[in-house]
Structure 1
Amino acid sequence: MRIDQQPRTRWVDQSAFQPRRPDLRLGARSHRVDRPGTVGGDRIAVRHTVRTSTAEYTLLLNAPEWLGRRGIGEALRDAVAELRAIDLTYGPTRPESLVSRLRRGEISPDSYPPLADLVDRCAAMRAATDGWFDAWAVPGGFDPGGLLGGWAVERAAARLRAAGVHDYAVLTGADLVVRGHAAHGGPWRVAVHHPTDRQRAPLVLEMTAGAVGTSGVSGRQGHVVDPHTGEPADQLVAATVVGPDLAVADAYATALYAAGPAGLAWFRNGSDYRALFAHRR
């Protein structure tokens, strides 16, 4: 799978000095958006939260003033419409979704270009993870849930860019994608907290392009299945992966959660993706 946008991420040692506070925090159960910093006269900072039937999304825009509030509102509406459309059109739990129709054999993947892209991504991640991410090894047939949320966020982010917004962050649960700069003019500072040790200082990333995908911190037991046995995965308490694309990072995190420490081999040999956390139970 080819990823055009390379990650631009710097790790910051929190113990070495007292840095400026993070813009975003990813915790064990949820995310938190810290109060935005000052905004220059040529920028407009906007925060918007939307809930679909399966997830809550927070969009932070550091938009150019020339776009105007009307233009920014249209960009937000386009992005939100994409998130809602994916929830309705591709949700595997919806009987009339394209995914459900595909599972019943009523349509082929090539019937709709976005569906073909979704299926191709699942196939690519099955190959990249030695079968530990397998959208076909689930009860009922094809289920892209391990990367569907990240795919939705990336498509919504593409709507923002098409509208002229190139500095933004989109968060859902313990996942996010960022691009460009935060309202204060510097890189987005993302504090990623340890999934179980709340006393440990967070790992802070400075990002101008990239994504963080996490599996295992939702509080749901058995939500990731070992595709080789069909049993719930139980080796790790959480897995977090950073890289250029959230759909891919999500899929890697899901596969790593299922495979356990053996999955760390996927991130060697110059991979664009890195495992931040992979903690045993």
Structure 2
Amino acid sequence: MGTTHRRTVEVMGTVVSLALRGRHADGPEVDALWAEVVGVLRHADEVFSTYLPDSPINRWGRGELSLAEAPPEIAEVLALAEDARLLSGGAFDIRATRSQYGGGPDPSGVVKGWAVQRASALLERLADTDFCLSAGGDMVCRTRRVDAEPWWIGIEDPVDPTRLIARVPVHNGAVATSGTVHRGEHIMDPRTGSPARALRQVTVIGPDLTEVDTEATSAFVLGDEASGWLQARRRTGVLVHADGRVEVVAPAAGRRVTPVRPGAPRSSGSR
């Protein structure tokens, strides 16, 4: 498999990490590219931060900027949010949460996945180099060498995050998780205004992080309907129900999910 080189930075209110394997996994070229990746993420944070009163998203929310005057990324993210609302039947709806400084809808549920997917495109320049770019556990994985091993993604146990419930091999794709383990009951059902409680955690695997990030949140809110909804979307998913039951959802030709024996600790081979 070769040596894995890692880099980390705190941005967008979370820890972003990059793992690299292959010909350009280390050295000046990747140092410069990592700086570009971080720059893309910092720019997204500056545009979309709901905690900065004068950020463009807050100025737009207050009516101080029209969409035509605002950075073009805002219109793009708002369109993605509307697509997610329609696809989920309203289970995902940024209009249900308002920015404290802007008063407009809070697009934070779209921005992280969209920004990481966007930044990961820069890493495609690294020939013969596999990469995994992760932000708070949501990640884009690529294998670009012919003989590359997959990235093995560990799905943590929402009851005990130091342990795993499954491992998923990903050559080229994205993984996103929504749940209550790190932030408590913060995911609200926008259709009712109450916390979503039927599931403890949802992990979704698919080709694009922008999509699976919103799909993980949508599925979490959909609760008992999540399995059928993900199957209709032809997504692979790992659902942890409120009673602790683990359910794997996969299309006929879906990715392989390897269950981990109960209580198995994390291992060095997982991410």
TM-score grouping bracket, smaller chain normalisation: 0.7 to 0.9
For the residues of structure 2 that align with 1:238 and 1:95, how far apart are their CA atoms? 32
Q: Which residue of 2 aligns with 1:215?
A: 178
Task: Check 1:165–1:103 CA distance in 2 against 1; reply closer, same or farther (3 A cut).
Answer: farther
Mean Cα deviation higher: 225-234 or 241-250: 225-234
Task: Check 1:222–1:79 CA distance in 2 against 1; reply closer, same or farther (3 A cut).
Answer: same
**Structure 2 gap segments, 5+ residues each:** 244-271
Q: Which amino acid aligns with 1:172?
A: A
For the residues of structure 1 that align with 2:156 and 2:210, how far apart are their CA atoms? 21
CA shift, 1:89, in A, is 1.8
- Mapped contact 1:216–1:237 kept (Cα < 8 A): yes
Q: How does 1:91-106 map to 2 (within 5 A)?
A: 91-106=49-64
Q: Which residue of 2 aligns with 1:38?
A: 2
Task: Check 1:50–1:186 CA distance in 2 against 1; reply closer, same or farther (3 A cut).
Answer: same
Task: Check 1:245–1:162 CA distance in 2 against 1; reply closer, same or farther (3 A cut).
Answer: same
Q: Deviations over 1:45-104 (max 9, x none)?
A: 531000025111111122534x97221111111001111221122122221222212211
Identity level (%):
31
Q: How does 1:120-159 map to 2 (within 5 A)?
A: 120-139=79-98, 140-159=103-122
Mean Cα deviation higher: 106-115 or 232-241: 106-115
For the residues of structure 1 that align with 2:205 and 2:94, how far apart are their CA atoms? 21
Q: Could you tell me which of 37, 42, 51 is aligned with 1:84?
A: 42
CA shift, 1:257, in A, is 1.7
For the residues of structure 2 that align with 1:38 and 1:68, how far apart are their CA atoms? 12
Q: Which residue of 1 aligns with 2:27?
A: 69
CA shift, 1:198, in A, is 7.1
Q: Which residue of 2 aligns with 1:112?
A: 71
Across the aligned residues of Structure 1 and Structure 2, the Cα RMSD in angstroms comes to 2.6
TM-score, with structure 1 as normaliser: 0.75
For the residues of structure 2 that align with 1:74 and 1:63, how far apart are their CA atoms? 17
- Mapped contact 1:109–1:119 kept (Cα < 8 A): no
Residue 14 of structure 2 corresponds to residue 52 of structure 1 = no
- Mapped contact 1:181–1:187 kept (Cα < 8 A): no
User: Secondary structure in 2 aligned to 1:133?
Assistant: coil
For the residues of structure 1 that align with 2:124 and 2:79, how far apart are their CA atoms? 24
**Structure 1 gap segments, 5+ residues each:** 1-36, 40-44
For the residues of structure 2 that align with 1:280 and 1:238, how far apart are their CA atoms? 9
Q: Deviations over 1:103-126 (max 9, x none)?
A: 112223344322221111101100
- Mapped contact 1:78–1:160 kept (Cα < 8 A): no
Task: Check 1:171–1:198 CA distance in 2 against 1; reply closer, same or farther (3 A cut).
Answer: closer
Q: Which residue of 2 aligns with 1:264?
A: 227
Task: Check 1:91–1:185 CA distance in 2 against 1; reply closer, same or farther (3 A cut).
Answer: same
- Mapped contact 1:122–1:144 kept (Cα < 8 A): yes
Residue 239 of structure 2 corresponds to residue 277 of structure 1 = yes
Q: Which residue of 2 aligns with 1:178?
A: 141
Q: Could you tell me which of 207, 226, 250 is aligned with 2:213?
A: 250
For the residues of structure 2 that align with 1:98 and 1:197, how far apart are their CA atoms? 39
Task: Check 1:93–1:222 CA distance in 2 against 1; reply closer, same or farther (3 A cut).
Answer: farther
Q: How does 1:198-209 map to 2 (within 5 A)?
A: 202-209=165-172
CA shift, 1:226, in A, is 1.2
For the residues of structure 1 that align with 2:34 and 2:212, how far apart are their CA atoms? 24
Q: Which residue of 2 aligns with 1:14?
A: none
CA shift, 1:179, in A, is 0.8
TM-score, with structure 2 as normaliser: 0.78
For the residues of structure 1 that align with 2:242 and 2:181, how far apart are their CA atoms? 16
User: Secondary structure in 1 aligned to 2:212?
Assistant: helix
Instruction: Report which structure shows greater RCO (CA 8 Å, sep ≥6).
Output: 1
- Mapped contact 1:195–1:217 kept (Cα < 8 A): yes
Q: Which amino acid aligns with 1:254?
A: T
